[in-house]
Amino acid sequence: MNIYDFTVKSGDGEDFSLFRYRGNVLLVVNTATKCGLTPQYEGLEALYKKYAGRGLEILDFPCNQFMGQAPGTDEEITGFCTLKYGTTFPRFKKIDVNGKNADPLFVWLKEQAPEDAGDEEAKSFEKKVKLLQLFAKPGDIKWNFGKFLIDRNGNVAGRYSPGLKPERLEAEIEKLL
């Protein structure tokens, strides 16, 4: 099994097979519009503009599980991201990433890479949110902007802390491209 075996819901609620991205490098991110990390949209868009022509796709999955920081409809979220951050990468329907209602894609991603990697800044961020996660299970997504890097064969190449800024992934993306 790999990421291409999954079907998700597009922003307008239609079934969308990730098989369409076969052969690309993917960066899968759970996002939020009212989070202290929301400015990471700028870094994500910069990566997308720089590498999309070489086969990078960024897949944005809004998630409202972390203190309700992704309020609004899918249309409102898309409007906000487009107007405030100029995002052009694909955005999918709002989902859960943890718990009994977690989207099957994120269940699989967490099984493939149960631990986050990150730099000192990311580890510092994780210490701050740990207090808010008293009921988190091992392997759970820790916060908004958790990142999974997928190679061209559809396999998880890495999982990265929400606190890791997108630009810090450039070297890893370059290796996979």
Q: Where are the domains of the chain?
A: 3-148
Residue 8's pLDDT is 98
Phi and psi angles of residue 44, each rounded to the nearest 5 degrees, phi first: -65, -45
**Per-residue pLDDT, 129:** 72
- Superfamily of domain 3-148, CATH level 4: Glutaredoxin (3.40.30.10)
Task: Quick: pLDDT tens for 30-69.
Answer: 999 999 999 999 999 999 999 999 999 999 999 999 989 9
What's the confidence (pLDDT) of residue 149? 98
pTM attached to this predicted model: 0.94
Tokens 């810090």 correspond to what residue?
Answer: 168
The pLDDT of residue 117 is: 82
pLDDT of residue 135: 64
Which of 30-44, 103-117, 118-132 is least confident?
118-132
Quick: pLDDT tens for 142-151. 899 999 999 9
Alpha helices in 11-137 (DSSP H): 40-51, 74-85, 104-112, 120-130
Active site residue 35: yes
Question: Residues near 49 by Cβ (< 8 Å), separated by ≥ 6?
Answer: 88
Active-site annotation holder among 35, 52, 113, 117: 35
Q: Is the pLDDT of residue 134 over 70?
A: no
Query: Length of the chain, please?
Result: 177
Q: What residue has token string 């819901």? A: 9
Closest by CA to 6, choosing from 153, 154, 115, is 154
